[in-house]
């Protein structure tokens, strides 16, 4: 599929029309040299079943001494296929939201006559928050068996629930450095979950070594005392909000928050805590690093 890393783009996915007209009688849906799978479909479709057979045969050819049965190889492929589908959906969502943000920014520019440079800066800022959201959502889905409610927690928070950054390049000698603008309304449970997902992402990115995968170098995000002035995200489970924030609200403001009494479990399993051993997190006690 010509992908070198887990987050590489998918550049050769069959079209919907190609998938619909394909019949097994036509022969294999793809070849080992040009391996194509329908990432919008199920493993049981004719196209994807044919692709699975191609994968099994190519694996046999590459590893003739492998003692695994064809059934075991096929089951391993299906598990990997499901993961690829998750990554593909994340990429599609990222592209869709990026386009939406771009269109929103252009509309605002036309309506309020904001200068283009300011609008472009705002757009870049929104894209960074979007990437942070999608990164965390992707990692939460990868570890859904260990932490079943993590992905839902990120989806509930949405892009608006992510912390934004202020650039602090001047005091760092021009190096890319950012201070975190925290959201005081978020509970410590939520913050701890977000920090864990960031650390898990780094473990995936660096593979527990200094050999980073391709992509932009993670930028430094310094923990600061800056707080966001934006309103809290409405309609979240009650335990998403800090208790101190809730008791500070007037009855009217509390009603407008529309919080849900039902809570979402966010306790981090010990096994998942122990999985995080990325050295950067321990060598920079005051820094948080994220892609």
Question: At 181, phi and psi to the nearest 5?
Answer: -95, 100
pLDDT of residue 213 exceeding 60: no
| Half-sphere CA count of 67, side-chain side, radius 13 A | 0
pLDDT of residue 19: 94
What is d(CA 3, CA 187) in angstroms, rounded to the nearest whole number? Answer: 38
pLDDT average, residue stretch 209-227: 54
The structure tokens listed for 196 are 């864990």
* Residue pair 272/144 in contact by the 8 Å Cβ criterion: no
- Coil/strand/helix, residue 193: helix
| β-strand partners of 167 | 178
Using CB atoms within 10 A of its CB, is residue 110 exposed (0-12), middle (13-18) or buried (19+)?
exposed
* Residue pair 134/94 in contact by the 8 Å Cβ criterion: yes
Torsion over CA of 249, 181, 149 and 242, rounded to 10 degrees?
-20
* Residue pair 81/37 in contact by the 8 Å Cβ criterion: yes
What is d(CA 165, CA 274) in angstroms, rounded to the nearest whole number? Answer: 28
At 163, the pLDDT band (50, 70, 90 cuts) reads confident
The structure tokens listed for 69 are 């049965």
How much of the chain, in percent, has pLDDT values that exceed 90?
A: 29
pLDDT tens for each residue of 228-284: 677 888 888 999 999 999 999 999 999 888 888 888 888 888 778 765 544 433 333
What is d(CA 70, CA 59) in angstroms, rounded to the nearest whole number? Answer: 9
Query: What is the layout of strands, in order, in the sheet containing 177-181?
Result: 164-167, 177-181, 219-222, 287-290
| β-strand partners of 290 | 219
What is d(CA 104, CA 98) in angstroms, rounded to the nearest whole number? Answer: 10
pLDDT tens for each residue of 86-97: 778 777 766 776
Residue that wins the pLDDT comparison between 288 and 135: 135
The structure tokens listed for 276 are 């995080």
- Coil/strand/helix, residue 178: strand
pLDDT of residue 192: 87
What is d(CA 266, CA 67) in angstroms, rounded to the nearest whole number? Answer: 41
Question: At 46, phi and psi to the nearest 5?
Answer: -55, -45
The structure tokens listed for 188 are 């410590």
Question: At 199, phi and psi to the nearest 5?
Answer: -65, -40
Between CA 16 and CA 25, with CA 19 as vertex, the angle to 5 degrees is 160
pLDDT of residue 283: 33
How much of the chain, in percent, has pLDDT values that exceed 70?
A: 67
Q: C-alpha 206: how far from its chain's center?
A: 16
- Give pTM, 2 decimals: 0.53
**Those residues with Cβ within 8 angstroms of residue 188's Cβ, 6 or more apart along the chain or in another chain:** 242
pLDDT of residue 276: 52
pLDDT tens for each residue of 18-61: 999 999 999 999 999 999 999 988 888 999 999 999 999 999 99
CA-based radius of gyration for the chain:
23
């Amino acid at each position: 599929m010509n992908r070198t890393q887990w987050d590489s783009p998918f550049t050769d996915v069959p079209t919907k029309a190609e998938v619909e007209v394909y019949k097994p009688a036509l022969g294999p849906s793809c070849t080992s040299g040009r391996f194509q799978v329908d990432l919008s479909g199920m493993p049981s479709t004719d196209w994807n079943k044919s692709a699975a057979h191609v994968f099994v045969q190519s694996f046999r050819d590459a590893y003739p001494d492998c003692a695994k049965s064809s059934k075991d190889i096929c089951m391993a492929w299906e598990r990997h296929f499901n993961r690829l589908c998750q990554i593909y959906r994340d990429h599609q969502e990222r592209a869709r939201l990026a386009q939406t943000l771009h269109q929103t920014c252009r509309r605002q520019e036309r309506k309020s006559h904001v200068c283009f440079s300011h609008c472009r800066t705002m757009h870049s800022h929104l894209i960074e928050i979007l990437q942070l959201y999608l990164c965390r959502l992707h990692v939460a889905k990868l570890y859904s068996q260990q932490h079943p409610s993590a992905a839902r927690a990120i989806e509930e928070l949405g892009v608006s629930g992510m912390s934004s950054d202020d650039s602090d390049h001047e005091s760092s000698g021009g190096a890319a450095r950012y201070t975190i603008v925290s959201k005081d309304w978020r509970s410590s449970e939520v913050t701890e979950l977000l920090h864990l997902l960031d650390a898990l992402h780094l473990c995936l990115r660096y593979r527990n070594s200094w050999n980073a995968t391709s992509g932009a170098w993670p930028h430094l995000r310094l923990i600061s005392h800056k707080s966001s002035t934006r309103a809290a995200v409405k309609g979240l489970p009650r335990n998403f909000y800090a208790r101190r924030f809730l008791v500070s609200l007037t009855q009217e403001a509390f009603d407008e928050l529309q919080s849900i009494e039902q809570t979402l479990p966010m306790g981090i399993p010990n096994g998942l805590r122990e999985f995080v051993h990325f050295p950067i997190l321990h060598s920079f006690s005051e820094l948080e690093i994220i892609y």
